[in-house]
Amino acid sequence: MKTVSIYTCHHKPSAFLDSSVIKPIHVGKANSLNVICCDGDDTGDNISYKNPFYCELTAHYWVWKNAIPTDYVGFMHYRRHFNFSDDQQKPEDNWGMVNCDEINAGYQDEFGLNEKQILKLLENTDLIVPCKWSVKSAGSNNNYHHYKVSEHLHIKDYQTAIDVLLRQHPEYSSAVKHFNTAVDGYYTNMYVMKKPLFDEYSAWLFGILDELEDEIAFENYSAQEKRVIGHISERLFNIFIIFKLESENLRIKEVQRTFIKNETFNGKLGPYYSERNIPIVICSDDNYAMSLGALVNSIVQNSSSNHNYDIVILDNGLSQRNKERVKNLVTHTANMNVRYFDINAFKEIKDAYIRPPFTAATYSRLFIPKLFTDFEKVLFIDTDTVVESDLAELIETPLGDNLVAAVQDIVMEGFVKFGNIARSDAGVQTAEEYLKTRLGMADTDNYFQGGIIVFNIDQMNKESIFEKLMAAMKGQSYWFLDQDIMNKVFYGRVHFLPMEWNVYHGNGHTDVFYPNLKFSTYMRFLSARRNPKMIHFAGENKPWNTDKVDFYDNFIKNIQGTPWEKEVYDRLIDAENSGQSTAIALQPVLLQTRIKNKLMPYVNRFAPAGSKRRSVIAKCYYKFRRVVIG
């Protein structure tokens, strides 16, 4: 039986096709620290770094030089595919594309995107190409004119390529003229061809492009204009095919192309290490880069040579500079690796309810069961933390059939005791009412804090937990967003960790809030602070903004020696010089807050915290506030 390999070119997380003969490849991988759940074009003999200029040709070059040979070789795009089905009369748009909503099983069946149908179409065929597209559809006179008038293209570059081609291969003169004056052609660099033809074409093409690099220069080109080599190669492909058709009995077959309108993602990450893998997941953006650096450094300092640490950072807008800085923290640690994944790849996250100060990335934890489905367990830890112990200890914690392991949220315990008001689509409720009715938690003490969580992925896979998380999230609003969703879905299936694994720094209120908790809780809080294994800088008062918070020294020792050390000291000095001191900066007090503060001593006497009377007053206050000031 004939063999075939068709490569789909991806530059960002996207949906992969199921067939084993259709192989996704990450183009331009050398220029990105992010992973997209498929192999890159940056190994072996490669030109991956040229991707901004060569486009999908960097994948073409990699396949030519490195891939395991098959009888046929082809290329498609992450959202443009061939219609390999028997029905080649699908309705097309002005650009010659059959538009489809998204990649799913039905789409792949309809368009024959499987090995059997692909091989059937390849019978007695040397080359499969897209149906010719007429440039007149874009208002152009012919192919040469189309390049000349196209936005972001410069005709002098194409003409230079033609000059190079004819110097190397003067016998192509007729083919050049044929294509340039024709009104149609095979566009988008998509094809499937026999391996010997592919090798011949590759040597011919890259021979021309190598010389072309000496002949052209960017003249303040934009990023779009710099994609010049990719655009030129589309035309060279046509010239090559015309010449082969004129000189050989080449068996060619034209088929339709599809276009995917809605981008989705269906990939998954695998363990970086084959054994003793400790997966650690963190989500961060540039605002928390220095905190991320301190956390990763603390993980390094507390790691063990008995384990391999697979750190995956869910990227929500980290700059290349900060990504490189974090990765360099582990460069000289043989048993530690850092990789990045764009959390915005999941379309579900775009429609999730958010409110300040949260962002959509807050929901990143909900997607861990899907992205890490091939893992047994995964540990998530908040960016605004540092550790004082080896995180491998948590991964080794037996979970049984529990879905997660986490630490009880004693702040929520306080909210319940003091009658704090919850904000959600359930209306105005006390914290206790909210937990019991909205989240279905009969025992409110079982609410956990999301700063550090061990996910039991094996068990979640068995119970389709990801789908339950998405159902709970879709179209609904919660007080503490994804943390509430997890408490709702995981209720009764939580292994509670010692409080030492999530010790609050207090946010400047250590002696105000916590002593008023249940005495036994307060004692556990004080005990955990004596020997913390993880310190959580939750709240607005962070140690990179002020040195007047608890555990400041634990943060600063982990920032020392990192690229962010000077930045942290500069921030603290600026705060000092601006007159704020490094004490916690006072924020402007709103009028309604000043009125509330004046009334609170009388309210406390009439309606003590935790009383039913206090709850009634609080509800009335928040209803009034919503009506009057929103």
Residue 603 and residue 246: Cα distance in Å, rounded?
93
* pLDDT at position 286: 95
Choose between 161 and 353: higher pLDDT.
161
* pLDDT at position 611: 65
Nearby residues of 572 by Cβ (< 8 Å), 6 or more positions away: 544, 545, 546, 547, 582
> 360, 354 in Cβ contact below 8 A?
yes
* pLDDT at position 510: 86
Residue 482 and residue 363: Cα distance in Å, rounded?
5
* pLDDT at position 61: 98
Percent of the chain with pLDDT over 90: 85
Percent of the chain with pLDDT over 70: 92
Summarised one tens digit per residue, pLDDT across range 216-268 is 999 999 999 999 999 999 999 999 999 999 999 899 999 999 999 999 999 99
> 48, 58 in Cβ contact below 8 A?
yes
> 582, 508 in Cβ contact below 8 A?
no
Cα angle 209-211-214, degrees, rounded to a multiple of 5? 110
* pLDDT at position 423: 86
* pLDDT of 600 strictly over 70: no
Closest CA to 304 of 281, 335, 268: 335
* pLDDT at position 354: 87
Nearby residues of 113 by Cβ (< 8 Å), 6 or more positions away: 17, 18, 19, 22, 81, 82, 84, 107
Q: Which of 105-109, 186-190, 378-382, 504-508 has the lowest mean pLDDT?
A: 504-508
pTM here is: 0.90
Summarised one tens digit per residue, pLDDT across range 438-450 is 999 999 999 999 9
* pLDDT of 104 strictly over 70: yes
Tokens found for residue 535: 């310190």
**Mean pLDDT (the chain, rounded):** 93
> 64, 202 in Cβ contact below 8 A?
yes
The mean per-residue pLDDT over the stretch 101-112 comes to: 98
> 302, 390 in Cβ contact below 8 A?
yes
Summarised one tens digit per residue, pLDDT across range 390-400 is 999 999 999 99
* pLDDT at position 629: 53
* pLDDT of 471 strictly over 90: yes
DSSP annotation of 34: B
* pLDDT of 593 strictly over 80: no
- Label residue 614 by pLDDT band (50, 70, 90): low
> 176, 232 in Cβ contact below 8 A?
no
* pLDDT of 285 strictly over 60: yes
Residue 476 and residue 485: Cα distance in Å, rounded?
10
* pLDDT at position 612: 65
Summarised one tens digit per residue, pLDDT across range 48-90 is 999 999 999 999 999 999 999 999 999 999 999 999 999 999 9
Closest CA to 19 of 121, 122, 114: 114
* pLDDT at position 578: 79
Taking phi over 0 as left and psi of -120 to 50 as alpha, with beta for the rest, 6 belongs to beta
- Label residue 45 by pLDDT band (50, 70, 90): very high
* pLDDT at position 357: 77
* pLDDT of 609 strictly over 70: no
Summarised one tens digit per residue, pLDDT across range 504-544 is 998 877 888 999 999 999 999 999 999 999 999 998 899 99
* pLDDT at position 145: 98
Residue 1 and residue 97: Cα distance in Å, rounded?
31
* pLDDT at position 619: 64
Summarised one tens digit per residue, pLDDT across range 126-182 is 999 999 999 999 999 999 999 999 999 999 999 999 999 999 999 999 999 999 999
Q: Which residue has the tokens 């008023």?
A: 516
* pLDDT at position 585: 43
The half-sphere exposure of 526 on its side-chain side, counting CA atoms within 13 A, is: 12
The mean per-residue pLDDT over the stretch 426-453 comes to: 96
Q: Which of 399-403, 461-465, 503-507, 561-565 has the lowest mean pLDDT?
A: 503-507
* pLDDT of 581 strictly over 50: no
CA 231 remoteness from chain centre: 29
Question: What is the domain partition of the chain in residue ranges?
Answer: 4-260, 277-409+447-577, 591-629
DSSP code per residue over 40-75: BS-SSS--GGGHHHHTTHHHHHHHHHHSPP-SEEEE
* pLDDT of 583 strictly over 70: no
Choose between 479 and 624: higher pLDDT.
479
* pLDDT at position 199: 98
Q: Which of 199-208, 406-415, 570-579, 586-595 has the lowest mean pLDDT?
A: 586-595
Give the phi and the psi of residue 332 in degrees, each rounded to 5. -100, 15
Kindly report the CATH class assigned to 277-409+447-577: alpha beta
* pLDDT at position 185: 97
